[in-house]
Copies of this chain bind each other. A is one copy, B any other.
């Protein structure tokens, strides 16, 4: 892309000035249309060090209302960011509806830098590219406009600029080791950039190479692309994104109606087993902390199936410094204004930590589907998006365990009645629970579909028969232990 690329002829100064003014006026109006159309726009500004990314962003936002944009400088990862998946720092920065997010540097530069310094092995390159493509596609499919710019300057121009910055102690800090290394290895870095650009140049998020020799001219190129992409977005009716086939190998799962719920365990057996399993879990928790393995446990299930008690027993074995239970309620307004996975990206554990989700992103294909909180296209696409999300977590090294806590309709009724009778439990039962119960059959069909479509080999569902809650608790602990042991004794010390 940058190999055969030829810069467009740079217009005269006077023309640049005029066109800048036109673009500025348009953008001022488009801000309002973005708000109206509730369009979120992610602008990725990539390119060579000292190519002027920052100052062009500065020029572009000069006349925007600060309520409509944010700028983030994506420098080197902080310690904290290093303990999260590659995509995490980008995923948590996706803009809200109606707003711009400008990223100064991003996943392209990070990948090239990682590869250059050997932090990304050649054999992991493809996986990285795949992550990026999936991320951008998910954004586009969910109504995001993704704009990507690459700022191109020659080795000579770059050298000149770095020298100027270097000469003043107040600007010297701006020149990083990476900038210098780029310039000294301009050819090699150029090749990496070219390769990454080509492999992420996709129809829903194409690259725009910017001739960055002159700052005003660079700003104009960016602003005119912004205008034309926004124009199309406002003009064209957005086609619903297609439902893509799942590329991952799946585990075959039974229907809920086929699950045997008869299993029971005696009080004594339960106590003895629980004691042993909790001790083992405690040991494993220490080990996974030391080995920095992140663990994500998802609980879904019928109301009154016993999720809460199950989570308690599992968590009771863990060191509270190393895990968090994350109860998921309906999204708040600032959460609804973003990609539906955003509120889960922001809640991921650090490496070595355990996150237990009490309800999860599967709300998309259950309650949001059945209550009409998203369109049919949205939830149909979500199976694959969720698989991709979990794939990302597993690629990061996470253990992902998903439980469906299963009971039958009669058991639920008995437990609802029980809750209504006991004053200390009454808060647990609401009118909504009764309403959901009326839709049992619809929910059951949705859950069957969900389990079938999201039981990947790397993140399968486990159905926990929970008519006997104690039995379900023992099962949950056993499964978590088994999954942890697989990973902890498999990975080299």
By a beta-carbon cutoff of 8 Å, the part of chain A in contact with chain B is 28-29, 32, 35, 54-55, 57-58, 61-63, 65-67, 70-71, 73, 78-80, 102, 104, 168-174, 283, 286-287, 289-290, 308, 311-312, 315-316, 318-322, 324-325, 327, 332-334, 356, 358, 424, 427
In the assembled complex, which residues on chain B have CB atoms less than 8 Å from the CB atom of A169? Answer: 290
Look across to chain B and name the residue whose beta carbon is closest to the beta carbon of A321: B73
* Contact, CB under 8 Å: A58 / B319: yes
* Contact, CB under 8 Å: B320 / A57: yes
- Given A62-B312, A312-B62, A332-B334, A319-B54 contact (CB < 8 Å): yes
- Given A35-B427, A170-B287, A308-B66 contact (CB < 8 Å): yes
Tell me the bound Cα distance from A319 to B56 in angstroms.
10
Can you name 5 A-B residue pairings with CB atoms under 8 Å? A58-B316, A58-B320, A66-B315, A66-B327, A67-B327
Tell me the bound Cα distance from A63 to B308 in angstroms.
10
Look across to chain B and name the residue whose beta carbon is closest to the beta carbon of A62: B316
* Contact, CB under 8 Å: A320 / B424: no
- Given A333-B332, A358-B67, A320-B290 contact (CB < 8 Å): no
* Contact, CB under 8 Å: A320 / B71: yes
In the assembled complex, which residues on chain B have CB atoms less than 8 Å from the CB atom of A315? Answer: 66
From B58, B286, B321, A104 is in contact (CB under 8 Å) with: B321
In the assembled complex, which residues on chain B have CB atoms less than 8 Å from the CB atom of A322? Answer: 73
Known: A57-B320, A63-B312, A79-B80. 5 other contacts (CB 8 A): A66-B312, A73-B322, A80-B80, A104-B321, A173-B289
Tell me the bound Cα distance from A28 to B424 in angstroms.
8
In the assembled complex, which residues on chain B have CB atoms less than 8 Å from the CB atom of A320? Answer: 54, 57-58, 61, 71, 73, 102, 104
CB distance from A378 to the nearest CB of B (A): 23
Look across to chain B and name the residue whose beta carbon is closest to the beta carbon of A32: B427
Most buried by B among A55, A170, A286: A170
Would you list the 3 A-B pairs with minimal beta carbon distance, nearest first?
A66-B325, A73-B321, A71-B320
In the assembled complex, which residues on chain B have CB atoms less than 8 Å from the CB atom of A324? Answer: 70-71
In the assembled complex, which residues on chain B have CB atoms less than 8 Å from the CB atom of A311? Answer: 66
Tell me the bound Cα distance from A312 to B324 in angstroms.
41
In the assembled complex, which residues on chain B have CB atoms less than 8 Å from the CB atom of A287? Answer: 170
Tell me the bound Cα distance from A283 to B169 in angstroms.
11
From B173, B356, B358, A290 is in contact (CB under 8 Å) with: B173
Look across to chain B and name the residue whose beta carbon is closest to the beta carbon of A60: B320
* Contact, CB under 8 Å: A286 / B35: no
Tell me the bound Cα distance from A289 to B165 in angstroms.
14
CB distance from A322 to the nearest CB of B (A): 8
In the assembled complex, which residues on chain B have CB atoms less than 8 Å from the CB atom of A61? Answer: 320
Look across to chain B and name the residue whose beta carbon is closest to the beta carbon of A59: B316
In the assembled complex, which residues on chain B have CB atoms less than 8 Å from the CB atom of A332? Answer: 332-334
In the assembled complex, which residues on chain B have CB atoms less than 8 Å from the CB atom of A65? Answer: 308
CB distance from A70 to the nearest CB of B (A): 7
CB distance from A383 to the nearest CB of B (A): 27
In the assembled complex, which residues on chain B have CB atoms less than 8 Å from the CB atom of A32? Answer: 424, 427
In the assembled complex, which residues on chain B have CB atoms less than 8 Å from the CB atom of A290? Answer: 169-170, 172-173
- Given A66-B308, A80-B78, A286-B321 contact (CB < 8 Å): no
Tell me the bound Cα distance from A174 to B104 in angstroms.
39
Look across to chain B and name the residue whose beta carbon is closest to the beta carbon of A104: B321
In the assembled complex, which residues on chain B have CB atoms less than 8 Å from the CB atom of A63? Answer: 312
Tell me the bound Cα distance from A35 to B427 in angstroms.
10
Most buried by B among A58, A62, A168, A172: A58
In the assembled complex, which residues on chain B have CB atoms less than 8 Å from the CB atom of A334? Answer: 332
* Contact, CB under 8 Å: B102 / A71: no
In the assembled complex, which residues on chain B have CB atoms less than 8 Å from the CB atom of A62? Answer: 312, 316
Tell me the bound Cα distance from A318 to B59 in angstroms.
10
In the assembled complex, which residues on chain B have CB atoms less than 8 Å from the CB atom of A174? Answer: 286
In the assembled complex, which residues on chain B have CB atoms less than 8 Å from the CB atom of A104? Answer: 320-321
